[in-house]
Amino acid sequence: MKYLRILLVTSFIAAVYFLTSCGPTDTIPPKLYLYGASDTTILLGLQYADRGIYVEDNASNEDEIEIENDIEDVINFYNDGKTRRTGDYYITYTATDQEGNSDTIGRMVRVKNVSTPFAGSYECRRQQSFFWNDTSYRSTVSADTRTAGRLRISRVYNHYDPSNNRNIFFTVYAELWHPELSQQFSSIYGYLGTVSDPESPFYADMDYDGAIDSIKNFTYLKIQGAPYLDSIGNAEFNIAGSNQNGIPLSRIEYINGEVSKIILKYVITKYDGSNPDQVIEEYIPY
């Protein structure tokens, strides 16, 4: 009996030791690796095809590891998967093994407008105006956040208005335009769609660098006739780009493949169509 009690006590101690020491044996998280670059640039209006990741784990098989990402939450997409807005988006991937150990890795996705090469600071030199003396002032040209090929020119027709005792100006949008592309405006692609399909941009099959090289061959800017408020909120004025035989007279000039000047030719009238002014302004990078 004494021997049996010793045996039972010994077995009990062994069982307690076994039960208290059999917690999770794996505390090492999976290792995550990116397919493709950790920093990639794509064009506004194109679909983003994520390269994804692969994982390794010391205990779990690959098909036993749960992998998640926040792409849909981070990048701004249309319903068909095309990028809706420019910006820098950081995607996070998370992998979790069977024991609940997890780790993350990230990728930067930069969505840019194909009109980005024309963005920058410019000095404007007015060449012609019926009502205001020639003048010089600074302006900023930026690539639009939502419409491909669109430039936002922060300050045009800058002049001193004695009735308000201050300088006023307008912010105008200009679209990259090419005679061999679509003549129908698209809210996504501007005038960069093909002739057969305005909703299919000419750069659909190009990578970022190829599209940027191609866009530097564009020489025309189309300023669509549209109402604008001036910088202090006065009543609507109409600004329309000047054209000749259907070709915009506003244009981009280059030297050695770089922008040397942007020339805007447009007509501005008051909201009732009175006092038309034909304007020519040159915007020179500085």
Residues 104 and 120 in one domain: no
Are 219 and 230 in contact by the 8 Å Cβ rule? The answer is: no
Distance CA 223, CA 48 (A): 30
CATH at 99: 2.60.40.10
CA neighbours within 13 Å on the CB side: how many for 240? 10
Per the structure, the complete domain to which residue 148 belongs is given by 116-285
Distance CA 267, CA 280 (A): 9
**Residue where a domain stops, chosen among 112, 130, 155:** 112
**Residue where a domain stops, chosen among 87, 112, 137:** 112
CATH at 246: 2.40.128
Residues 99 and 159 in one domain: no
Closest CA to 83 of 70, 74, 95, 91: 74
Residue 20 is assigned to a structural domain of this protein: no
Distance of alpha carbon 47 from the chain centroid? 12
213 phi/psi in degrees, rounded to 5: -60, -40
pLDDT tens-digit profile, the chain (286 residues): 444 343 333 444 444 444 444 555 899 999 999 999 999 999 999 999 999 999 999 998 888 999 999 999 999 999 999 999 999 999 999 999 999 999 999 999 999 999 999 999 999 999 999 998 778 999 999 999 999 999 999 999 999 888 888 899 999 999 999 999 999 999 999 999 999 999 999 999 999 999 999 999 999 999 999 999 999 998 889 999 999 999 999 999 999 999 999 999 999 998 788 889 999 999 999 9
Closest CA to 95 of 59, 58, 56, 50: 56
One-letter identity of residue 248: P
pTM for the full model? 0.86
Indicate the length of the chain as a whole number.
286
What is the residue whose two structure tokens read 């039960």?
19
Residues 123 and 259 in one domain: yes
One-letter identity of residue 207: D
Residues 210 and 126 in one domain: yes
**Residue where a domain stops, chosen among 74, 95, 112:** 112
Closest CA to 227 of 219, 215, 235, 217: 235
Residue 171 is assigned to a structural domain of this protein: yes
> How many structural domains are present in the chain?
2
